[in-house]
Each structure stands twice: as C-alpha cells, then as structure tokens.
C-alpha cells in the first residue's frame, strides 16, 4: 500500500527471475467518466494492514492453483488523479499462460476481498463506490475469479 | 469489556469518527458490538446485510466472540482496484 504514485517497473522487477519467460503486468487507471458522471479524481481509503494480508492471501491462493507463478500487488491510497495508476499487479512465470491467468485472478480477487474503498469526486458531488461484501471464505466468489482467470 | 471499533469509508462518515471505544457485555460477539453501534447511529442499519468485519486485523464472522481489548473493524462493501 502506498500513498505516492506507483512505479509499475518496480512491481515487475519485484517478480522477475532467471527462470521466468514471462512477466504480465496489469495497471488499473483512474477513468474520467463513471456511471454517466464526469470524474474529477478518486480518493482511496484502505484498512492497510488487512489489505496487505488480503494480498498475501490472494498470492497464496494463486500459488495453490498456479504453483510456478510469483505475484506482486501494489495499491494506492489517497488522492489519485485521472490517468494515474490506482493498482499495479505483476505476475511472473516460466510460461506466459499462467502469468496472464494470475494477473487476472489477482485483480478479480482484489475487487472481492481487499478492504479498499473508492471515494469518487465528480462534477457536482461525491460518492462512495461500494462493490462486493468482502468475504474471503466465499467459495463461489473465489470460483468466479478462477473462471475469469481461465476464460 | 471494552473494545476498540474502527470504521471505514461511508461507515466512518456516518459515525463521524474512524475509531471509538465501546462497552460490550462479557461473552458478547461482533454482532453485539454492531448492534450497539447502529443503535447510536441508525443510518448504519442500512449496512446490516452487507457489512464485513475483522477482529485484530483478521477477517472474521459476526458470530465471533469478542474479548476485552479487541479491535473490531466494520467494513462496508469494498471497491478496490
């Protein structure tokens, strides 16, 4: 978790190793439009220690299904401008297929279980974005993320 | 027993603070702490079905027993990424 701009090269470098033929990075950016609103910026709030634990959990889940993959997740807190990165994920593996799958799995799981919230500031107001009820034990949600990762 | 409650995002705004201490009867659960809290801040009741909880920085269930000095966190639906 970081309250300063994410360094996407650093996230990729954190997982690259001699045995890796592939590093897939996913970078989530702040959009200027959402649900018909003109977005000015997002303010991210997090329960940081639990968020880090959720990332560790996601990495453990991923390595159970994709044992050859190394995963790194960095997420912003605080005010993030349009076009700036809010999340950076890097997955490294000997072959590309697993790295693609794990990067997708990680972003789906972050959206399900990481205690992080977007406070959207738009032209004319502000709103808390509320998505999934966080439940790491929800096996149906986890299976949904696996299916997304394998599609 | 005395427990520390931490609130985030919209829940924090409703309560007007991010952290508070509340007295919960001995043998009480996370759910009991939530009930006490939403008694003080009725707007929280809208989150009764969607709130998640953590005790001492670990996700847990509303049925979990609390102990003196625990830190219980209430989390509205998440929106990271």
Q: What pLDDT does A36 receive?
A: 96
pLDDT at B80 exceeding the cut of 90: yes
Alpha carbon of B23: minimum distance to chain A alpha carbons (Å): 23
Query: Are the C-beta atoms of A51 and A114 separated by less than 8 Å?
Result: yes
Query: Is the complex ipTM more than 0.95?
Result: yes
Smallest CA–CA distance, residue B48 to chain A, in Å, is 11
Cα–Cα dist B57/B55, whole Å? 5
DSSP E strand stretches across chain A: 22-29, 33-34, 37-46, 70-75, 78-81, 85-93, 116-122, 125-129
Model pLDDT for residues B4-62, shown as the tens digit of each residue: 999 999 999 999 999 999 999 999 999 999 999 999 999 999 999 999 999 999 999 99
Burial class (CB in 10 A: 0-12, 13-18, 19+), A147: exposed
What is the mean predicted confidence (pLDDT) over A42-50? 98
Tens digit of pLDDT for each residue in A51-103?
A: 999 999 999 999 999 999 999 999 999 999 999 999 999 999 999 999 999 99
Number of cross-chain residue pairs from A and B with Cβ atoms under 8 Å apart: 91
CB B70 within 8 A of CB B32: no
Mean pLDDT of A109-137: 98
Q: Which residue among B9, B57, B77 sits closest to A133, beta carbon to beta carbon?
A: B77
For residue A73, give how far its alpha carbon lies from the nearest alpha carbon of chain B (Å).
Answer: 10
Of the candidates A45, A46, A136, which has its C-beta nearest B59's C-beta? A136
B2 has pLDDT over 90: yes
CB A101 within 8 A of CB B44: no
Q: Is B7 helix (H, G, I), strand (E, B) or coil?
A: strand
Q: Do B78 and A134 touch (CB under 8 A)?
A: yes
User: Is A93 an interface residue toward B (CB < 8 Å)?
Assistant: no
Report the alpha-carbon angle A131-B41-B16, nearest 5. Answer: 75
Integer CA distances (angstroms), A37 to A40, A51, A65, A77, B73, in order:
9, 28, 39, 22, 31
Residue of chain B whose alpha carbon sits nearest to that of A117: B79
Determine the pLDDT at residue A151: 82
What is the CB-side half-sphere exposure of residue A53 using CA atoms within 13 A? 11
């Amino acid at each position: 978790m970081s309250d300063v701009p994410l360094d996407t090269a650093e996230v990729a470098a954190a997982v690259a190793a001699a045995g890796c033929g592939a590093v897939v990075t996913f970078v989530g950016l702040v959009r200027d439009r959402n649900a018909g609103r003109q977005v000015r910026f997002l303010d991210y709030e997090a329960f940081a220690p639990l968020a880090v634990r959720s990332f560790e959990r996601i990495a453990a889940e991923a390595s159970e299904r994709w044992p050859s993959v190394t995963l790194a997740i960095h997420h912003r807190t605080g005010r993030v401008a349009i076009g700036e990165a809010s999340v950076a994920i890097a997955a490294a593996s000997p072959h590309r297929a697993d790295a693609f799958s794990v990067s997708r799995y990680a972003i789906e799981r972050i959206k399900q279980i990481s205690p992080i919230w977007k406070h959207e500031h738009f032209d004319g107001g502000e709103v808390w974005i509320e998505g999934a009820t966080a439940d790491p034990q929800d096996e149906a949600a986890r299976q949904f993320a696996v299916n997304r990762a394998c599609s | 027993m005395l427990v520390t409650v931490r609130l985030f995002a919209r829940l924090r705004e409703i309560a007007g603070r991010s952290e508070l201490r509340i007295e919960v009867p001995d043998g009480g659960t996370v759910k009991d702490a939530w009930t006490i809290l939403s008694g003080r801040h009725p707007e929280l009741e809208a989150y009764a079905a969607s709130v998640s909880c953590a005790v001492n920085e670990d996700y847990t269930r509303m049925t979990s027993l609390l102990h003196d000095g625990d830190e219980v966190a209430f989390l509205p639906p998440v929106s990271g990424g």
